[in-house]
Amino acid sequence: MLQQQLEPILPRVQKPARYTGGELNSVLKDKGAVDIRFAFCFPDTYEIGMSHLGMKILYSLINERPDSWCERVFAPWTDMEKEMRSRGVELYALESGDSLRGFDIIGFTLQYELSYTNVLNMLDLAGLPLRAAERNALAPLVIGGGPCVCNPEPLAEYFDMFLPGEGEEVVGELLDLYKKHKAAGSSKAVFLQAAAGIKGVYVPSLYEVVYNTGGTVRAVLPRPGSGAPEKVRKRLVRNLDRAFVPTSYVVPSVETVHDRVSVEVFRGCVRGCRFCQAGYIYRPVREKSPETVNAQCLAGCESTGYDEVSLCSLSTGDYTRIEPLAASLLEWTNAKRVNLSLPSLRVDSFSRELSEKLTPVRRSGLTFAPEAGTQRLRDIINKNITEQEILSAAAEAFAAGWVSVKLYFMLGLPGETPEDIEGIAALAQKIVDLYYANPSRPKGKSVTVSVSVATFVPKPFTAFQWEAQNTAAEIAEKQSYLKSLVKSRKIRLSFHNREMSALEAVFALGDRRLAAVIETAWKSGCRFDGWDDVFQPALWQAAFASCGLDPSFYANRRKGFEEFLPWEVLDYGVSRAFLERENARARRAETTPSCREKCAGCGANALNGGSCDAND
Amino acid sequence: MQTIRFTFSKTGAARYLSHLDLVRCMTRALRRTGLDVKYTEGFNPHPYITFALPLPLGQEGLAEKMDVIFIDGEGPQEAAAKLGAALPEGIRIVGAAPPVHPPARIRYASYDLTLDFACVQDAQLYRQTAVRLVEQGALAAQKTAKKGRAKVLKTIDLCEHLQRFEASVQGTSVRIGATLSAGIENNVNPFLLTGALERESAVRPETQLVVREVLLMEDLMPFS
């Protein structure tokens, strides 16, 4: 049936293979023989979603259960959406082709604030009411996971529950409970109340948000009698060696963003960069053993036929057993013609030697993320790399024949002054000069220093969660100032869309009242807001105005430590006291050493029975 | 070292794989088989795989040809069995043998086209128009061509490239059998033909399925 409906559509849309399914290793089951049908939704394109490791893990994990069938769903691109709507094709899962409406559980992974309109659009394309309160039956249940769940409040009205933290264990517990309640014919209310008893399950409808007169949140309180916990603590996997990892992965037919085998080497991060949400919310540090990583890399390559493996983590050079791991990988990767890639290496010499050993030939370019233009500002954000380290790394790279360097910076960081902006231009120029100071540079080749500048976005559960974001107008001014300082044509300056960053901050820091804004913007046509060619800032401005909400209340206002923050109904392990301490140190431009040198007492080890691999 | 020419079909949902997708897909499938494929030298070694004639996105192929060079001599049948088992839905190995002809010998391809219309009248009008124009021997189509580096539009007469043409109506469908120029010199995409017929008849098919049945040489014998 679906095949017939798609027949006239597919030839008219871009990259139709994104919508057909049938990829190698995709899992087909008999729908009559399973109790639970799970639609794993990624609210962005197929190419982005199929690059996501978390989805691959949970897809296989759920499909290991004989009682459940997990299928994949991605956001159709605008051309496909138009065709689907004009022909009445409901959003379907790729494996069975069945409409999402018939599923038991619809699970969204929330990776990025600017995909929220896609979430609404996908529910609507499935023919489902958007708001949880309007979906009365037990099924389909709409649940959310992923990093944005650390402040799910702007989406709270659309979801039945959120799963903060790592999903590997809680998903199984949830499916068991669901199966029991489905068999018993429980109502949704009965099930949700029971589910709130599972550790790491946040059922937003069981909480009431109390506001102060100024519009700030006074408290998020469990409704009396609901039995919901006062705070929901994120879940995590204690032992990564025993954590579920798939033995076979769906191999996408169209090229995806990260088209390779990815294997985690550890979770968490020892660095403590104060702006970095990932660096805080995945704590504590837990390492996998090199034996496990090696075996998983090999199995991944064999089941997929990929010729590239990527070791992933937030800072791969910080993996303590990288040398034994590298040795065991090199035993087979060359013979099998498998390339290794190590993203997120630091700019120290150890990392450089390592990457030269592991990836002897690829000469695509070198990327550094100083994030700020002066040492003072780098100290404020606790990005503990020095200009000297960057320059010596660049010098070595040039000596080895590289001709392009990419630098990442942010504008609008707390404590930023005009000197910091000047520092960005100066550092880029120093690198250009360094290239021409190298006598053995390739003749006739010119250097390119790409300077990519984003806007600082304050995020929940970071040391900067209280900080104000610069307004888009302020950022515009800083951008043009920086532009005026860049004189060399060897420096290629590019800016991330500042209006997108503004919106990202609003939803990262927002509360439940923003639900109306998302819905209004979506109704007026907003989709794929993270895509430059689709993003429509004017429609968002109109949506805020018509809902009577001021985006700057959320993004551009500095909050005091006394203020309750909308996401403080959740507990991600890092204590508020620690974050306050870090914020105060930032104000004094004091750095905090890496967790390996000295434990900063973030408190996240309590989630792991007091253990943290950063200081064991 | 031996070259094996695989004959494969690409049907159903797999017809939406682009040629580049197909190259990647075959590369990975070969890696999964563990067969001893010859690789290129250099910084980014990749296996020696050659497709006789890329199949446009959206079209099915029943006898597509792919050459692979193997270092170690497993027989074509064993290699075909292993490769077949490693392929995704919609791609099947239907034969394997040492190559006989060089791909430059390809001159034509034979197609089976099925076009579905909203009503019987549309189907009949489309067929009548098609038959009349082919009999008259003039059917213009615009084709992108390369002039140096630039892409230019050039007008071709499809009838000059049409070696065989037959059309019949079955209910609301028009079935066309056609042999069109193919190969490195004068490749004519059958969508050019259906596009021209759509323009001339002023009726638009709801769906069109294009199946490339076989690649042919100058003497209309199958390329193998």
pLDDT of residue A355: 66
A449: left (phi over 0), alpha (psi -120 to 50) or beta: beta
Residue entry with tokens 């290496």: A345
| CA proximity to A458, closest of A504, A389, A402, A397 | A504
Q: Which chain B residue has the Cα nearest residue A298?
A: B32
Pairing of strands A286-287, A266-267: antiparallel
Question: Do the Cβ atoms of A22 and B31 come within 8 Å?
Answer: no
pLDDT of residue A606: 94
Residue A351: pLDDT above 70?
A: no
Q: Return the domain boundaries, chain A.
A: 2-165+167-227, 236-362+594-616
**Mean of the pLDDT values across residues A54-60?**
96
Residue A537: pLDDT above 90?
A: yes
Q: Mapping DSSP to helix (H, G, I), strand (E, B) and coil, where does residue A1 land? A: coil
Residue in A10, A253, A256, A308 to test binding to B, most B beta-carbons within 10 Å: A253
- Report which of residues B149 and B112 the model is more confident about: B112
> Whole-angstrom Cα distance, residue B132 to residue B141?
16
**Mean of the pLDDT values across residues A83-106?**
96
| B13, B39, B57: residue with CB nearest A337 | B39
Residue A225: pLDDT above 70?
A: yes
pLDDT bin (cut points 50, 70, 90) of residue A60 is very high
> Whole-angstrom Cα distance, residue B194 to residue B203?
11
Q: State residue A54 phi and psi, 5-degree precision.
A: -60, -40
**Mean of the pLDDT values across residues B82-105?**
95
Which pLDDT tens digit goes with each residue over A585-606? 999 999 999 999 999 999 999 9
Question: Do the Cβ atoms of A22 and B90 come within 8 Å?
Answer: yes
| CA proximity to A226, closest of A210, A243, A207 | A207
| A253, A304, A361: residue with CB nearest B43 | A361
> Whole-angstrom Cα distance, residue A352 to residue A304?
29
| A20, A21, A251: residue with CB nearest B28 | A251
- Output the six-digit token pair for B163: 């070696």
> Whole-angstrom Cα distance, residue A161 to residue A196?
9
| CA proximity to A370, closest of A311, A435, A452 | A452
| CA proximity to A169, closest of A262, A109, A243 | A243
pLDDT of residue A337: 87
**Mean of the pLDDT values across residues B120-127?**
96
Residue A142: pLDDT above 90?
A: yes
**Mean of the pLDDT values across residues B127-134?**
94
Q: Is B90 on the interface with A (CB under 8 A)?
A: yes
Q: Is A30 on the interface with B (CB under 8 A)?
A: no
Residue A350: pLDDT above 70?
A: no
Residue B129: pLDDT above 90?
A: yes
Q: Using alpha carbons, list the distances in angstroms from residue A503 to A458, A475, A552.
A: 11, 13, 10
B220 to chain A, minimum CA–CA distance in Å?
A: 30
Which pLDDT tens digit goes with each residue over A151-205? 999 999 999 999 999 999 999 999 999 999 999 999 999 999 999 999 999 999 9
| B16, B32, B39: residue with CB nearest A20 | B16
Helices marked H in chain B — which ranges? 19-33, 76-85, 120-136, 190-201
| A10, A21, A253: residue with CB nearest B25 | A253
Question: Do the Cβ atoms of B208 and A11 come within 8 Å?
Answer: yes
pLDDT bin (cut points 50, 70, 90) of residue A385 is confident
Which pLDDT tens digit goes with each residue over A354-372? 666 666 555 556 788 899 9
Q: Is A438 on the interface with B (CB under 8 A)?
A: no
pLDDT bin (cut points 50, 70, 90) of residue B146 is confident
**Mean of the pLDDT values across residues A129-138?**
97
Q: Which domains does chain B have, with CATH numbers?
A: 2-99 (3.30.70.580), 104-217 (3.30.70)
> Whole-angstrom Cα distance, residue A139 to residue A102?
8
pLDDT of residue A399: 81
CA atoms within a 13 Å half-sphere pointing along the CA-CB vector of A586? 26
Q: Are A486 and A421 in contact (CB under 8 A)?
A: no
Helices marked H in A161-228 — which ranges? 167-184, 188-195
Question: Do the Cβ atoms of A305 and B31 come within 8 Å?
Answer: yes
With contacts defined as CB-CB under 8 Å, which chain B residues touch A7? 207
DSSP-based helix, strand, coil % in chain B, nearest 5? 30, 40, 30
For A236-362+594-616, CATH gives 3.30.750.210
Q: Which chain A residue has the Cα nearest residue B207?
A: A8
Q: Is A542 on the interface with B (CB under 8 A)?
A: no
> Whole-angstrom Cα distance, residue A509 to residue A154?
9
Q: Residue A484: how many CB atoms within 10 A of its CB?
A: 10
Residue A422: pLDDT above 90?
A: yes
**Mean of the pLDDT values across residues A565-576?**
97
Per the prediction, chain A carries an average pLDDT of: 94
Q: Mapping DSSP to helix (H, G, I), strand (E, B) and coil, where does residue B111 land? A: strand
With contacts defined as CB-CB under 8 Å, which chain A residues touch B191? none
Percent of chain A surpassing pLDDT 90: 83
Residue A336: pLDDT above 80?
A: yes
Q: Is B109 on the interface with A (CB under 8 A)?
A: no
Residue A347: pLDDT above 70?
A: no
Question: Do the Cβ atoms of A22 and B88 come within 8 Å?
Answer: yes
Name which of A358-367, A378-387, B71-80, B172-181 the model is least confident about.
Answer: A358-367
**Mean of the pLDDT values across residues A450-476?**
97
**Mean of the pLDDT values across residues A87-97?**
96
Cβ-based burial of A444 (10 A; exposed 0-12, middle 13-18, buried ≥19): exposed
